[in-house]
Amino acid sequence: MSRRRRRLSALPIVFAIALLIVGTIATTLALPASAPATPEPSPVDLPTFTGTVTAPPTETPSGRYPATAESSLVGSCVAGIDPNTVPGPIAQAFCVCTVNKYEQLYPSYDDFQRASGSGAFTDKVKTDVANQCARQIVGG
């Protein structure tokens, strides 16, 4: 008797090759070879403010300039600060500080007006004074 060999079907082999191709394509698309895996940056934890805002001890103008001049300078300074950004008491303390610094630089109101008119009262002077007062208020 002759035995007939059963012929193998090509279907399982084609199926296996198809799975390998699909797997290779899926892996290639999921992990691009050109970009190395980098960890995600962690978010920065910023401190949150939950207390109430308190101003430093209330400073008063030095009194070298006439009271109306001091009041006008402080008032225009405070009006120029956004109350949504800087609370009123802090703005007031900052402005009084700047007027006091101006009074140290220009001992009389006439000196201050001359410096303002001549250009000696420059943006650099204003910035330096503002920085000094900001450091004084925040304690830096």
If you write DSSP's letter for every residue of 6-27 in order, what string do you get? Answer: PPPPSHHHHHHHHHHHHHHHHH
% of the chain surpassing 90 pLDDT: 36
Question: What is the distance between the terminal CA atoms of the chain, rounded to a whole angstrom?
Answer: 106
**Exposure b/e, 115-129, CB count within 10 A at least 16 = b:** beeeeebeeeeeeeb
Higher pLDDT, 6 or 110: 110
Residue 50's pLDDT is what? 45
The pLDDT tens digits for 44-85 are: 444 444 445 554 555 667 788 899 999 999 999 999 999 999
pLDDT at 25 over 70: no
| Both structure tokens of 40 | 């995600």
Residue length of the chain: 140
pTM of the complete model? 0.57
3 φ, ψ (degrees, to nearest 5)? -95, 135
